[in-house]
Amino acid sequence: MAEPAPIELEEGMSRRKRGVPAGLWVRCPGCQTTIFRKEAEKRMNVCPECGNHWYVPARQRIAQIFDASTFEELDTQLTTADPLQFNDRRPYPERIKADQISTGLTEAAVTGIGNVRARRIAFGITDSHFIMGSMGSVVGEKLARIAERAMEEKLPLVFLSGSGGGARMHEGILSLMQMAKVSAALAKFHQSGGLYISIMTNPTMGGVAASFAMLGDLIFAEPKALIGFAGPRTIKATLQMELPKGFQTSEFLLEHGYIDRIVQRQDLGTEIARAVDYCGSRS
């Protein structure tokens, strides 16, 4: 990188221009406003100008929602296999390893049990920065196991979805089977009388939206989240027609009765606790 140009002070004297340290500012992906990083963190990555809710890592989400030091992660030993010996630009195991390093997660889903406003909750979350939060065999197994654990311990169940990848093509039909497996686990949980709350964030697409994300007894979504199966550009190109304004946003889905409530990020913990108090963990 080139050295910054010297600033002339007096004849024969100069000093280097001091730049702004890297990482102090972030840019809102919605309105492109530049925001002081500490202010963005204080606001939980919600833009003060346009209200855009942008990406938050899974573990940070857990810290935002759960009471301090109460969340116990489960099934951390589960690891992904490579049943198809899949290789596109690089082998599938290398892709898994790279995302494990960049995210600090072992897979795209984190599951566990903890307290939300002193209410005991079984919880699962998908992280869109781990192969787009796509649902492979480990993700499906983790979510099915936590649903079964919630049924055994008579706990309310909350899934928070952030997946732009749907089913994971690297595992072929084994990935598609996870949609049915998690849906079947949720059906058993529902039959047992359990309360299941689904929370959708930007983006929640593909097989995730077509399975467990839309099966909640209560369905919440963050503002302006993209939610659907195929993306709007694909649908527009296929149908050769203009789509309604705001198509596939959480606001559009609320208006058409597909979700129950849009919840601001800072209110998620309170809304979960309120729903549990109102509905109870068992019907």
Give me the average pLDDT of each 10-residue run along the chain (283 residues).
52 54 81 88 87 91 96 95 91 96 96 97 96 94 98 97 88 94 97 97 93 96 93 88 90 96 96 93 51
**The CATH number of the domain covering residues in 55-279:** 3.90.226.10
pLDDT for 270 equals 96
Phi and psi at residue 210, in whole multiples of 5°?
Answer: -85, 0
Rounded Cα–Cα distance for residues 243 and 229 (Å): 15
pLDDT for 88 equals 87
pLDDT for 54 equals 86
pLDDT for 22 equals 65
Rounded Cα–Cα distance for residues 55 and 48 (Å): 15
Residues 6+ apart with CB under 8 A from 230: 205, 206, 238
Phi and psi at residue 56, in whole multiples of 5°?
Answer: -130, 130
pLDDT for 4 equals 54
pLDDT for 283 equals 44
Model pLDDT for residues 121-155, shown as the tens digit of each residue: 999 999 999 999 999 999 999 999 999 999 999 99
Residue limits of CATH 3.90.226.10 in the chain: 55-279
Rounded Cα–Cα distance for residues 118 and 111 (Å): 18
pLDDT for 233 equals 87
pLDDT for 268 equals 96
